[in-house]
Structure 1
Amino acid sequence: MFDLTWLLGHAKTTYTSHKTPIPLKTKDGNKTTLNELATSSIPPCRLKPFLFNGHLQTMYTAVSDPGPPIHYKRKIFDSDHSVYPGIFAVDFVVSKTEGEASEPDPELPERTTTFTAEEWDQIGSQDHKPMIIALHGLTGGSHEVYLRETLAPLTASGWAACVVNGRGCALSRITTPQLFNSRSTWDVRQTLRALRTLFPNRAFYGIGFSLGANILANFCGEEGSRCMLRAAVTCDNPWNLEICNKELNSGWLGLHVYSRTMGRNLMGLFERHREQILKNPRIDEERLVKSKYLYEFDRHVQCPTWHYPTEGAYYRDAQSVDAVLSIRIPFLGINATDDPISSEAGLPYEEIKQNPYTLLCTTNWGGHLGSFQLGGGRWFADAASKFLAKVHEDVDFDALREESGGEDTDGEDMLKKGNKYPIYDPNHRRLILPEA
């Protein structure tokens, strides 16, 4: 019998988790789990019926939508990484009054201005606000509608927020030949250290979208129990980059629409930063300018930039599917199984089942960064913001830190704690880097 529930906009929501999720003590002294927090806060998925499959939902993201107006002030950070110096931009959400008081900057995205030295000197606070740190998708930035739709309800209820822009994104400059990659967690790490100094009493939460989701999942895995985030959510993460790349290039739409569109966006980024990028003598400009598809850009820019021999090696090293096993904070992944870019074939169902700190929420309809709802807005943005608000409102994180017995999975740390070979380290990288 045919399932016609899509005519009413009804999508099916499924949760995958460890058989015994970590118990979370609530502020009223009771116990709960990630599953219970999610099912009690995430609304049913009700989408626009005329966008009846993942392709239509994904393509609809190209339709112009002003989204909620959010004002930002930008701070340029000097990277403290010994291998990847340079600068990166972090945009902080400010009030409408504060945003409109500044002269518009035509060289920055709409409603974005730069902190003056005096303003930045006064930004620190002893307040206890929750604060969300967001990471955008490929070639995106703080201006993205899907990101603003997620931040808007949180900031309206009193949360502070900032967006860590990928290097060269959101009309930011670069001063070295490196842009970003799918596992460039160092700028997030530096940002959080700075935020902890500025706001010692705030509770930090993370959210990432698409490429930013992959970076965030890797970051949470690398940090393990040391993670400064209390909880994190990823939306439409392409968890297994190698599988997603193969799936993307296996069909006409994937190759000639999605991969080509992403490749074109990346080439636009290259044109904006051509002078800096071509300072890398390993990059072959003649081959690069002929790039049409995502994988070609990765082959001709990302590989020589980060010293990977092939784009496949890059994807295998940068994907976050294994990092799931190292996460030691409450973590929710949200994906649509009909996503043509973040393929269902790459979803970490089995890895999620092995980690009691994690939960995967999947819908059978929604596409990539789509999930357009009947009443307006995106379902995943609604789901993520309501889940994070519920987690912050209910969970006693002081008790969680005291009771947490989860062992980190870093190979060297496990040896120091008396573990014996063989040891599986899900964060083991082929690209060898110093700590910072």
Structure 2
Amino acid sequence: MEEDYRAPSYDYDEFFVKSMSFLSISHNYLLLLLLAFLVFLYNFLEVHFLADLLTAFRGNPVLLTYNSSSQLYQSVVSKCRILHGRFFPTPWLSSPHLQTAFLSLVAESPHVTYERHMFYASDGGTIALDWLMSSDVKGASCTNDATRENDKAPILIVIPGLTSDSGSAYVKHLVDKMAKHGWNVVVSNHRGLGGISITSDCFYSAGWTEDLRKVIDHIHCQYPEAPLYAVGTSIGANILVKYLGEDGVNCLLAGAAAVCSPWDLLA
């Protein structure tokens, strides 16, 4: 007895519709994942490539907050042409984190030689003061021994950022540049940094200005005729600005600059 076999019938139209709807759902999920990834890059890693792309990499104008009647402002701005133009970030370094990594890992930094002096705080804490003695980059060398020969030469005190010290790339560039202008430069490393062990139960923080105050007093006592200046970066800038506000007219510094000072420490 033969069985009557019939091939199952398929509704190809229905199959096509279901397949396309599945692909559409998958496509939407991929778009959502891509959008979430781009939001993450923009908000958390601060990758601004797409924003720069939308503006055709024209850059942004430099916006300044200042007192227009300040003679200091007029003197500084007149010598900084970049402040009158636009900021053009490198397209493939469109994030401050990428720029920091590039500077630390790839970019060439000067070869510097320091002379280390140890400063001991009253609570037992240890601070390494690294005086720049020489620097060399791309064959251009600079020797700085004026602290021994001329105690009236201006001295620049550098206060590094959160985890930086005298060996950080941007610090090397800063001290090298200032030494080439005839300045004496010393890096005041934070407690526990620069290869120095923590020797007390007190550590540094953005609100702790006592170490900087004592270091400035110490250098002023060593070179009372030398004008003192300071540059702070990141948290070092916050410490410096707080110190300036606390000491006011009693501050021993002739001038100071805060670079990339954090505005909201709780953020």
Normalising by structure 1, what TM-score?
0.43
Question: 2:64 pairs with 15, 23, 26, which one?
Answer: 15
Q: 1:48 to 1:125 in 2, by over 3 A?
A: same
Q: 1:67 to 1:183 in 2, by over 3 A?
A: same
Whether the 8 Å CA contact 1:127–1:201 is kept in 2: the answer is yes
1:92 partner letter: W
Pairing of 1:92-241 with structure 2 (within 5 A): 92-95=131-134, 127-241=151-265
How much has 1:52 moved relative to structure 2? 2.6
Q: Which has the higher contact order (CA 8 A, sep 6+)?
A: 1
Where structure 1 has 5 or more consecutive residues not aligned to the other structure, the ranges are 22-32, 98-118, 245-436
Q: Distance in 1 between matches of 2:135 and 2:101?
A: 31
Instruction: Pick the structure with more strand per residue.
Output: 2
How much has 1:241 moved relative to structure 2? 0.6
2:230 partner letter: G
- Mark the structure with the bigger radius of gyration: 2
Aligned: 1:79 with 2:121? yes
| Sequence identity (%) | 27
Q: 1:210 to 1:36 in 2, by over 3 A?
A: same
Whether the 8 Å CA contact 1:130–1:203 is kept in 2: the answer is yes
Normalising by structure 2, what TM-score?
0.67
Q: 1:124 to 1:197 in 2, by over 3 A?
A: farther
Q: 1:241 to 1:69 in 2, by over 3 A?
A: same
SS at structure 2 position matched to 1:223: helix
1:163 partner letter: V
How much has 1:139 moved relative to structure 2? 1.8
Q: Distance in 2 between matches of 1:232 and 1:138?
A: 19
Q: 1:157 to 1:18 in 2, by over 3 A?
A: closer
Whether the 8 Å CA contact 1:210–1:237 is kept in 2: the answer is yes
Aligned: 1:50 with 2:117? no
How much has 1:131 moved relative to structure 2? 1.2
Q: Distance in 1 between matches of 2:92 and 2:217?
A: 45
1:34 partner letter: L
Q: For residues 319-372 of structure 1, what are the alpha-carbon distances to aligned partners after superposition, in whole Å with 9 as ceiling and x for unaligned?
A: xxxxxxxxxxxxxxxxxxxxxxxxxxxxxxxxxxxxxxxxxxxxxxxxxxxxxx
Root mean square deviation, CA, Å: 2.8
Aligned length: 205
How much has 1:170 moved relative to structure 2? 1.0
Q: Which residue of 1 aligns with 2:106?
A: 64
Where structure 2 has 5 or more consecutive residues not aligned to the other structure, the ranges are 1-50, 137-144
Q: Distance in 2 between matches of 1:140 and 1:206?
A: 16
How much has 1:17 moved relative to structure 2? 1.7
